[in-house]
């Protein structure tokens, strides 16, 4: 199926300060997206794009909607696996899916009654920067999370994805670093974190995951990090994680003795 998108002009209309509260009320009060015809004064609010997507339905069976995120992200990615990065940065695409194909899902997953600002972040784009916007928007973030963590070299290519869905703050911290554009480096660091946790390490502390990200950034400034193999990045990252955790333990011990 071809994806229907919302034009820049229509997306801007929905996003204006004057219309945000109106859009929120429409979403709250309507189980379908028919209200778009009224706000845009047209029988066809969407424009047919050239982007193909395998048709599928989101899982909306869980009492806690967040519990469906990983499964729905996989479904979305599988249906749009051939999407290029440049196309995936097109807000018109995600807005079209949000207010079109996945309107019911969005109402299920993101209750618009929280507040207008929350609704804008999930249904629209708050204008905080392209990367940040894409990582907050209700449909686009799922595709990007999988795209950045999918590893077809593993028996289960979603192995690292599932790990990152349990530690979402880390992936966002990693994504905003320049080295994250390298799949080799990105996946090596994620795998090191996953294995470190599996071996009993604690990555919940910000000092741990921020520390390893800063360490990789330092390597990128001191060396031609792109010449390192994935195995080398993995080993260096894992060693740094061990050092960071030991450093925290030493500080705690020192504090308890004073």
pLDDT of residue 218: 83
The terminus-to-terminus CA distance of the chain in angstroms comes to: 67
pLDDT digits (tens, 9 = 90+) for 228-239: 899 999 999 999
Q: How many beta carbons lie within 10 A of that of residue 80, not counting itself? A: 20
CA 9 to chain centre: 25
User: DSSP states of 102-117 as a string?
Assistant: THHHHHHHS-TTS-HH
Q: Are 109 and 64 in contact (CB under 8 A)?
A: no
C-alpha distances in Å from residue 38, one per residue of 45, 123, 196: 9, 18, 54
Q: Where are the alpha helices (DSSP H) in 150-229?
A: 159-166, 168-175, 183-198, 206-222
Q: Are 195 and 241 in contact (CB under 8 A)?
A: no
Judging by DSSP bridges, how do beta strands 2-5 and 47-52 pair with one another? antiparallel
CA atoms within 13 A on the CB side of 14: 30
pLDDT of residue 228: 87
Q: How many beta carbons lie within 10 A of that of residue 51, not counting itself? A: 19
pLDDT of residue 257: 45
Q: Which two tokens stand for residue 26?
A: 């429409």
CA 214/CA 177 separation, integer angstroms: 9
What predicted TM-score, i.e. pTM, was given to this entire model?
0.90
Q: Are 174 and 213 in contact (CB under 8 A)?
A: yes
pLDDT of residue 114: 75
* Nearest to 106, CA basis, from 32, 203, 2, 210: 32
**What residue ranges of the chain have pLDDT lower than 70?**
128, 222-223, 249-258
CA 6/CA 149 separation, integer angstroms: 28
Q: Which two tokens stand for residue 225?
A: 């990090």
Give the E-state strand segments of the chain in sequence order.
2-5, 47-52
């Amino acid at each position: 199926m071809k994806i229907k998108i919302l034009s820049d002009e229509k997306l801007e209309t929905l996003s204006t300060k004057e219309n945000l509260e109106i859009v929120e009320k429409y979403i709250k009060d309507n189980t379908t997206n028919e209200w778009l015809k009224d706000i845009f004064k047209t029988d066809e609010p969407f424009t047919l794009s050239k982007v193909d997507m395998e048709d599928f339905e989101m899982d909306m069976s869980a009492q806690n909607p967040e519990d469906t995120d990983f499964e729905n992200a996989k479904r979305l990615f599988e249906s749009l696996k051939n999407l290029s990065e440049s196309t995936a940065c097109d807000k018109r695409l995600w807005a079209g899916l949000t207010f079109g194909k996945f309107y019911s899902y969005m109402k299920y997953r993101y209750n618009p009654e929280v507040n207008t600002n929350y609704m804008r972040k999930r249904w629209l784009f708050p204008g905080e920067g392209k990367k940040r916007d894409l990582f907050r928007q209700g449909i686009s973030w799922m595709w990007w999370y999988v795209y950045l963590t999918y590893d077809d070299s593993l028996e289960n290519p979603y192995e690292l994805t599932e790990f990152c869905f349990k530690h979402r703050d880390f992936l966002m911290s990693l994504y905003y670093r320049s080295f994250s554009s390298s799949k080799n480096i990105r996946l090596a660091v994620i795998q090191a974190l996953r294995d470190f946790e599996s071996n009993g390490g604690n990555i919940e502390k910000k000092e741990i995951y921020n520390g390893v990200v800063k360490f990789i950034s330092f390597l990128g400034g001191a060396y031609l990090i792109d010449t390192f193999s994935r195995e080398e990045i993995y080993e260096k990252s894992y060693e740094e994680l061990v050092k960071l955790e030991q450093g925290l333990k030493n500080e705690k011990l020192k504090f308890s003795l004073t």
